[in-house]
Amino acid sequence: MPVFHTKTIEAILDPVAQQVSQLVILHEEAQDGNAMPDLSNPVMAVSAAVQNLVKVGKDTANSTDDKILKQEMPPAFTGVEESSNKLAEAAMELKRDPYSSPARKKLIDGARGILSGTSDLLLCFDQSEVRKIVRVAKGVLEYLAVSEVVECLEDLVTFVKNLSPGMANMANKVTSRSKELTHTAHANGLINHTENLKRTTPVLVSSMKIFVTVLKKGGAGRDEAQQNRNYIIGCMSHDVNEIIRILQLTSADDDELS
C-alpha cells in the first residue's frame, strides 16, 4: 500500500488504493476466472477525469511563478495520461476476450498508475505550498540576524514590531502544516520547534533589551550580554532551520527524525 504524505491526499486516494489492492489480490490468487464485463464506460469516465486534472494542472502551472512546479508538472502529467491510455487498451482487449489474463494485468497496472500519477501530481502542488511556507520561514531567519545590529531602544522597538507578525505568521502556517502531515514524527518535530520559538521570542527580546541597556550605561558587561543574546539567536535560528528542513521532508524520509 502506498504511503500518502498528507491527510488531504490520503483522504482522496487511500480508499481507492485499498480497492485496487483487493483487485490485485483477486488477480494474484487466480480468483478472477469469471468473464470481465464491458469496462468501456468506467474507463472513459476515468479518462475524462484525467484529462480534466491535466487541464486544471496545466492552467495552474502556467499561472504560477514557481519554477520548480513548472518543471515537475510535465512528468507527472505524462504518468497519469499513460496509465489512462493503458486502461483504455485493457478495456478494449477485455471486450475482445473477457477472460484475457494479460488484459487484466494491464487493467491493474493502469489503475495503480492512475493512483501513483495522481499522487505525484498532488505532491507536486503540495511541495509548491511547502515552498511558500519555507519562504516565510527564511524571511524570519534573515530577520533574526538583524537582532545583532540593534544597539538602541528605538531600533529594538522597531525590531520587535517587525519580528512579531513574521514569527506569528510562520507559527500559524507551520502549525497548520503539522496538522496536515500523516508522518507523526515530522508533525511533532514541527510542533516542538514552533513551541520552542514561541517560548524563546520574549527571551530574545529581554536579552536584546539588556544588551541595549548595558551599552547605554557605558558598556560594562557588554561581552556577557552580547554572548547571551547571540546564544538565544543561535537557538532560535536552529529551530527555524529545523522547521525548514522538516517541512521539506516527505514520507519517504521516514528515518530522518529518528
Nearest distance, CB of residue 255 and other proteins, angstroms: 29
Are the C-beta atoms of residues 99 and 33 closer than 8 Å to each other? Answer: yes
What lies within 8 Å, CB to CB, of 43 at 6+ separation is 87, 88, 90, 91
Query: Which residues inside 101-140 make contact with other proteins, applying CB under 8 A?
Result: 104, 107, 111, 114-115, 118, 121-122, 125
Can residue 3 be called a binding residue for other proteins (CB under 8 A)? no
Candidates 46, 88, 133, 243; binder of other proteins (CB under 8 A) is 46
Can residue 57 be called a binding residue for other proteins (CB under 8 A)? yes
Can residue 100 be called a binding residue for other proteins (CB under 8 A)? no
Can residue 50 be called a binding residue for other proteins (CB under 8 A)? yes
Query: Which is closer to other proteins, CB of 88 or CB of 170?
Result: 88
Q: Give the cell for residue 65.
A: 511563478
- List C-alpha distances in Å: 76 to 2, 57, 152, 194: 17, 10, 53, 33
Interface contacts to other proteins, rule CB under 8 A: 8, 12-13, 15-16, 19-20, 22-23, 26, 31-37, 39, 42-43, 45-46, 48-50, 52-53, 56-57, 59-60, 80, 87, 104, 107, 111, 114-115, 118, 121-122, 125
